[in-house]
Structure 1
Amino acid sequence: MNRLTLISGLMLFSLFFGAGNLIFPPMLGHKAGVEMGPAMAGFIVTGVLLPFLAVVVVAYFDEGVERMGRPVHPVFGMVFAVLVYLSIGALYGIPRAANVAYEVGTANLLPVHDTSTLISFSVVFFLIVFMVALNPAKIVDSIGKYLTPILLGAIALLSIFAVFRPETGLQPAREEYSITPMVSGILEGYFTMDLIGALAFSMVIISGLKYSGVTDRKGIVSHVLKAGLISSVLLTVIYVALAYIGGTTARGGYENGTDILTYSSMRLFGSSGDLIFSAIVVVACLTTCIGLVNACAAFGFRHYSRIPYKVYVFIFTSGGFLFTTLGLNTILSLAAPLLTFLYPVSIVLVVVSFMNMLIHFEMKHAYILPVVTTIPISIVDIIHTNGLLKMEPISTMYMALPLSEVSLGWLLPFAVMTVAGLAADWRRGRRIESVEHQTVY
């Protein structure tokens, strides 16, 4: 394993490891208790394995996110890609990370929290993001060599102390984790929605490799595969450590993983615990924002190169700053319907595209049938969940689908239609081979 692969793997880990990844595992461990093992196994399936597959798929086809939807229709492929970059960009991903960095990272450090302090913090935060993202050739080094070690060091310090000085032992599982711990862990990983981020981060890694001289497709796939494995191993180890921190924290009125980690930092390190936890949160959010700005700017430049890359960086940095000033609650309420629509479709396209890597006959129906089935179900889920329209018959039909109560009503129809599509594509391939054989002879 060479130096470039190692740094790329560290960078990919750092891009993935945002605030959401920091706060989900502790709460999972706190609720799962003695069932933490199966719960974390489920979490890793959707929180680590699926994003890893997304990175590999995009690297394998090396045509950007838009290629994934192109077999459905070229227009759909481009619309899907634009929606992905908007959702992870200035509309949601970037301002969410910046807001979390502000609200969590400075919670106990600033005496006053109001609009003026948010704006002041955001100016400094986005200035750093802008300066690093300006030079895509050095992003891999900037994050992989400098920011990631800081992040890993701070997390390791917290985790090691927590493992050797637990507050209590693992306690009985609570709520849904006492009944179906693995399924609950799968759903928790699903709700991190890291898969959408993976679609963009893979292009950041690919661009960094190309700037470093790796241009052939086989070399890119090999580097990305190894970098993805490094990132996945690091994520898994840290997720387990964070879950253990939550699992060995005594029962209390904790609302989320942030409360648990804040308490644990103060318990283990006293007044300096605030500084350690704040450093973890701010650096995690900073690296994620840099990666998102770079990915969005590269996408824009790839499709409309008349505007310089640096201008795109300014546009997405400025847009992220402006949306950050709206506050976290406003951002979440505006973006939730878009993410509810996009995430199932993203999973469908990643899984089908991964199958396309392994199957040698041409796939067409295996893309179209699952997508045209999943999209209407996702739209109905949005309508049902948000109560946008009073359509009782449609809501009743949706709730009749297995797993619809946890927003997974699309899963079984997707599986059925994928099998049907593969069968149709296989038969079509056999007919073409038969006609070609008859023509030759």
Structure 2
Amino acid sequence: MNKIIIISGLMLFSFFFGAGNLIFPPMLGYTAQNHMWLAMCGFAITGIIMPYLTVIVVAYMNGGVESIGRKVHPIFGLVFAICVYLSIGALYGIPRAANVAYEIGTKNILPVHNHFTLIIFSLLFFFVVYIVSLYPNRIVDNLGKYLTPILIFIILLLCVLVFIHPETSIKHPTGEYVHMPVVSGVLQGYFTMDLVAALAFSVVIVQTFKLNGISEHKQLMTSVAKSGFISAILLAVIYFSLAYLGATTVHHDFKNGTDILTYNTLRVFGPLGNLIFGIIVILACLTTCIGLVNACSAFAMKKLTKISYKKFVLLFSLLGFIVSILGLNLILQIAVPLLTFIYPTSIVLVLMSFVSMFIKIELKYAFIIPTIITLVISILQILSDFNISKNINALYKLLPFSNYQLAWLLPFIILAILGLIIDYFLRNKSQQSMS
């Protein structure tokens, strides 16, 4: 039993810790500086704790992302699932992993480093993704089994060496981390996409336990919770270590976490070590992309049965290639409205599902009302960010915590309580009418 839990915990960690997750903690530490610990506590809420709760919720409900969205409405469940798979897939997750592979893997290898080399690299990268995704067999599993531990070992070794010999002392914070480090950390945690990804792949962990003879609900929940805790602890160690690495890096106007990581691996390991690290990151990103293309294609094939799996693999590989050639910085900018739209709604659905685990009444309006208002506020925030209308901007700024980009939070809490009250009275009314 313990062996299965440990293996499942490591598997879950490898699902969460795609190579793309390397880039956010170093940049957070680099910017937050002596506010790093506060910022990382915020980051842990959306980047570690919420994904962990999601795994537990999926196990409890015994269903995937669509089953959670179906609590609001069947059509909403389908649309929400499509948005989730697009965000972890072709619109963000897949091209982000490909760009991280390019930025870290080739920065100090290629003699020329420009947009043309990005296109050539992406073309070759997604050709391999396409070919392997058509006939994956056990290639991805075996690569992931060995690559993930090696990648973790090198990252931890890098962080330990930086801890022993930091390049500089931690200084004063800059940007948004000066006045609101915790909130800024929470928002940075959005970019890991781990909560959204957990909605899609937690089913795999549940199935793993079932295949090993653990099917009784209470035992299954306990096993999933333990394996999730293992992955959460590993994520916390890696994330906080990478943030410290960023905080002790001398400022050279780095634009993203890949620049910081590349700089430090070259500084600590030298050219050969940097080359090895780059190759491992490329392979890790490759397996991440193959896994995401497989997951998205399998989901799409279930919904559009007349289109073959191979055609969906081609479609998602092409979409990943097209978006990836935009470059990492532009992809991260595109991701902001996408994550603003989908992440708060995902948090609301996960939290209400978690609450439903401890309440005996069937929840309906407690799901519907806060989810709808969160969606509306998220759309208002996106429109306000793009300055579509002065009236919309003014309306959005009236909402509490809008200046912290958390305008959905207070309405969610109030309306969730209201929904719970409505569901409670409706249940009592139903019981009275039956008696």
Work out whether the TM-score is over 0.5.
yes
Structure 2 counterpart of 1:293, one-letter code: V
Which residue does the alignment assign to 1:27? 27
Describe how 1:274-353 pairs up with structure 2 within 5 A.
274-279=274-279, 281-305=281-305, 307=307, 309=309, 312-328=312-328, 331-332=331-332, 335-353=335-353
1:266-322 Cα offsets, whole Å, 9 max, x none, are 221222343244245424423432332232123224444555555544443343234
Structure 2 counterpart of 1:427, one-letter code: F
Match of 2:192, SS? coil
Describe how 1:70-81 pairs up with structure 2 within 5 A.
70-81=70-81
Which residue does the alignment assign to 2:370? 370
CA drift of 1:407 comes to: 2.3
Which residue does the alignment assign to 1:100? 100
The percentage of aligned residue pairs carrying the same residue is: 54
C-alpha change, 1:183 and 1:91, in structure 2 (3 Å) is closer
CA RMSD of superposed structures (Å): 2.9
Match of 1:44, SS? helix
Which residue does the alignment assign to 1:52? 52
C-alpha change, 1:335 and 1:175, in structure 2 (3 Å) is closer
CA drift of 1:255 comes to: 3.0
Under a length normalisation based on structure 1, what TM-score does the superposition of the two structures give? 0.87
Say whether residues 1:394 and 2:357 are aligned partners: no
CA drift of 1:47 comes to: 1.1
Q: What CA distance in whole angstroms lies between the structure 1 residues aligned with 2:171 and 2:316?
A: 45
1:226-267 Cα offsets, whole Å, 9 max, x none, are 332222111100111111112222344333333322222222
Which residue does the alignment assign to 1:91? 91
Match of 1:358, SS? coil
Under a length normalisation based on structure 2, what TM-score does the superposition of the two structures give? 0.88
CA drift of 1:421 comes to: 0.6
Structure 2 counterpart of 1:59, one-letter code: A
C-alpha change, 1:331 and 1:182, in structure 2 (3 Å) is closer
C-alpha change, 1:42 and 1:337, in structure 2 (3 Å) is closer
Structure 1 residue runs without a partner (length 5+)? none
Which residue does the alignment assign to 1:357? 357
Describe how 1:49-198 pairs up with structure 2 within 5 A.
49-114=49-114, 117-130=117-130, 133=133, 138=138, 141-142=141-142, 144-198=144-198
CA drift of 1:204 comes to: 4.1
CA drift of 1:109 comes to: 0.9
Structure 2 counterpart of 1:428, one-letter code: L
CA drift of 1:28 comes to: 2.3
Q: What CA distance in whole angstroms lies between the structure 2 residues aligned with 1:321 and 1:251?
A: 32
C-alpha change, 1:102 and 1:307, in structure 2 (3 Å) is same
2:256–2:329 contact (8 Å) kept in structure 1: no
Which residue does the alignment assign to 1:424? 422
1:154–1:280 contact (8 Å) kept in structure 2: no
2:104–2:261 contact (8 Å) kept in structure 1: no
1:110-156 Cα offsets, whole Å, 9 max, x none, are 12235653344334433554465557774784355222112112212
Structure 2 residue runs without a partner (length 5+)? none
2:369–2:415 contact (8 Å) kept in structure 1: yes
C-alpha change, 1:216 and 1:308, in structure 2 (3 Å) is farther
Match of 2:166, SS? coil
Q: What CA distance in whole angstroms lies between the structure 1 residues aligned with 2:110 and 2:29?
A: 30
2:103–2:258 contact (8 Å) kept in structure 1: no
1:59–1:224 contact (8 Å) kept in structure 2: yes
C-alpha change, 1:300 and 1:60, in structure 2 (3 Å) is farther
C-alpha change, 1:46 and 1:345, in structure 2 (3 Å) is same
1:8–1:144 contact (8 Å) kept in structure 2: no
Match of 1:424, SS? helix
Structure 2 counterpart of 1:45, one-letter code: I
CA drift of 1:15 comes to: 2.6
CA drift of 1:103 comes to: 2.8
C-alpha change, 1:297 and 1:4, in structure 2 (3 Å) is farther
C-alpha change, 1:5 and 1:234, in structure 2 (3 Å) is same
